[in-house]
Amino acid sequence: MYALDTIGGVPAHPLLVHIPVVLVPLGLILAIAAIWPRIRKPMLVVAACAAAVGGIGVLLAAGAGESLESAVRSPSDTPAEKQLLRDHTEKGDAAQAPAVAFGIIAVGTAAEEIWRRRRNGESKLPRWVPVLLLGTTVATGAVATKFVYDAGHTGAKSVWSGTSAKTEGGERDGGDD
């Protein structure tokens, strides 16, 4: 699999993770807003775009993360640091399928809404299908958001564990935090 390692000399993973961290929950919020019939079509279209790009972003971030993982491993890592990185990797891997599923389902739901509206509400599908699709979109969005949150949270813990404020002389301050 192709991995994007750097962007402008900066490791790509910390930049790319912001795509799903922002767009997957945004897609969920917009899908929830689509419950109201008056704004359903535009909300579903924007939710589908956010969810699809968020799903792609998860895949890009995971690819870049694999490259970064090998670069940041160090023999001096403590067992706790190794475990945090392992947890983040596992949760990042677990977030991929729900985020991609959310993108696919959201696009399908928006496409059905557009198709039905172009036919002036006439469809051969039962009336409950759009409701089921919207409910499925919201449910998969909630699951994807939870998985993306967990991956992001463990990633932040991995990055910021063991860091502390530095004194003016550049020495680490053990601090009493």
Mean pLDDT of the chain, nearest integer: 86
Percent of the chain with pLDDT over 70: 86
In this structure, the dihedral spanned by the alpha carbons of residues 50, 8, 82 and 95, taken in order and rounded to 10 degrees, is: 10
| 112-135: pLDDT as tens digits | 999 888 877 677 778 899 999 999
Spatial distance between the Cα atoms of 135 and 80, rounded to a whole number of angstroms: 40
Which tokens is 90 given? 């596992």
Domain boundaries defined on the chain: 13-69+87-156
Angle at Cα 29 formed by Cα 28 and Cα 31, nearest 5°? 65
pLDDT of residue 74: 67
